[in-house]
């Protein structure tokens, strides 16, 4: 069985490579946005130094307008990156939904007999929806933050290598801590998704059989089961958080 990194690499290559244009656009927007974000403080420093040095008013105004223009362009690029990442995420995961649905249709009836329609819907659509959110958030926040961190460290090294070295050590320690937390959070996340699937499966099954439940006087038992599923879902989601 392939390792987890290999599975992730295979999934990314299968569902993202067909959309190379969007990927290139997203990379460009992220690089440009982060570059302007790094440039903004330097322009602000120039503005303050110019204002304090009794420079002509026209020069101060020019630097101020430059700062304002760069800030506006940065916001436009950030919005564009978010739009492209969302489009890429949903385009890729829609294909994943189709493949997953086709895979489920090809499974034996013994598999479907063990699972309710609500659970299947939550697994095929809900889990993939979370994956789409992961793609969009990962592209904009995680990848963008990594690029921004590298840029900040480079700038710090150009200012003072001692500050850059100290911040590099701090960044490495933080990344190590995040990796440790990830190993702890993944099992809890899996349990939370299983609890959500069970809850939605229960709701679908009992809502579709409301008349039969009332006819047989099973309201109290259904409510007890609902409380049990809801408590399990809350406990596992709380553990995930």
Q: Tell whether the model's pLDDT for residue 212 goes beyond 60.
A: yes
Angle at which helices 57-105 and 127-137 cross, to 10°: 160
Q: Examine the pLDDT at 234 and tell me if it is beyond 70.
A: no
The stretch 205-221 carries a mean pLDDT of: 68
Q: In the structure encoding, which two tokens stand for residue 66, read together?
A: 């430059």
The token pair that represents 10 in the structure block = 């295979």
What is the model's pTM? Answer: 0.62
- CA dist., res. 103 & res. 106, Å (int): 5
pLDDT of the residue at 2: 47
pLDDT over threshold 70, residue 20 = yes
Return the top range by mean pLDDT from 68-72, 101-105, 118-122, 128-132.
68-72
Res 73: pLDDT = 92
Say how far apart CA 44 and CA 63 lie, in whole Å.
8
């Amino acid at each position: 069985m392939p390792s987890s990194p290999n599975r992730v690499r295979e999934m990314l290559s299968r569902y993202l490579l067909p959309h190379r244009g969007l990927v290139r656009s997203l990379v460009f927007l992220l690089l440009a946005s982060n570059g302007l974000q790094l440039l903004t403080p330097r322009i602000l420093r120039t503005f303050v130094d110019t204002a304090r040095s009794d420079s002509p008013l026209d020069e101060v105004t020019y630097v101020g307008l430059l700062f304002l223009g760069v800030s506006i362009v940065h916001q436009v690029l950030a919005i564009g990156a978010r739009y492209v990442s969302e489009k890429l995420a949903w385009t890729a995961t829609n294909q994943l939904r189709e493949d997953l649905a086709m895979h489920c249709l090809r499974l034996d009836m013994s598999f479907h007999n063990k699972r309710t329609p609500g659970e299947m819907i939550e697994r095929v659509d809900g889990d993939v929806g979370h994956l789409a959110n992961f793609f969009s958030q990962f592209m904009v926040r995680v990848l963008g933050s990594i690029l921004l961190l590298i840029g900040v460290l480079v700038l710090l090294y150009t200012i003072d290598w001692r500050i850059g070295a100290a911040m590099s050590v701090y960044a490495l320690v933080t990344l190590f801590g995040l990796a440790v937390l990830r190993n702890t959070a993944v099992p809890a996340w899996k349990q939370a998704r299983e609890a959500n699937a069970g809850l939605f499966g229960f709701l679908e099954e009992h809502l579709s059989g409301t008349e039969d439940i009332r006819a047989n006087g099973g309201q109290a038992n259904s409510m007890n089961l609902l409380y049990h599923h809801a408590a399990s879902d809350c406990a596992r989601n709380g553990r995930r958080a």
